[in-house]
Amino acid sequence: EAQVTQNPRYLITVTGKKLTVTCSQNMNHEYMSWYRQDPGLGLRQIYYSMNVEVTDKGDVPEGYKVSRKEKRNFPLILESPSPNQTSLYFCASSLSKVAGYEQYFGPGTRLTVT
């Protein structure tokens, strides 16, 4: 089954404790992206990757890191989480950036930083 998976689905952590949210897709997609969704602000793009070893900042990259060592994986790293990073996070992938290719989203990771 074609899908985007994220782990963990739910995470409660404390300020400053490094964490990684994994994202994996099995569709051989080139383009992958991370978003966060907050009430009243909608979905905002954190980082995206056009292909292996190519990553770029989105609209809200501060406090986040990503890597794209393999085509299928695109982990999101929070080196020192803070409470303002409490949010719902979505990973997405698409075949390429070419116009018209839809993004497939993972089920989301709900992160709470206390």
Partner 1 sequence: RKEVEQDPGPFNVPEGATVAFNCTYSNSASQSFFWYRQDCRKEPKLLMSVYSSGNEDGRFTAQLNRASQYISLLIRDSKLSDSATYLCVVEGNYGQNFVFGPGTRLSVLP
> Which residues of the shown chain bind partner 1 in the complex (CB under 8 A)?
33, 35, 40-45, 48, 50, 56, 58-59, 88, 90, 97, 99-100, 102-103, 105-108
Which sign does the torsion angle of CA 19, 70, 100, 59 carry? Answer: positive
- Cβ nearer to partner 1, comparing 44 with 72: 44
- Cβ nearer to partner 1, comparing 1 with 40: 40
- Cβ nearer to partner 1, comparing 17 with 98: 98
Read off φ and ψ for residue 57, nearest 5 degrees: -75, 140
Q: What dihedral do alpha carbons 75, 79, 80, 85 form, nearest 10°?
A: -30
Minimum Å gap between C-beta 48 and partner 1 is 6
Amino acid in position 61: P
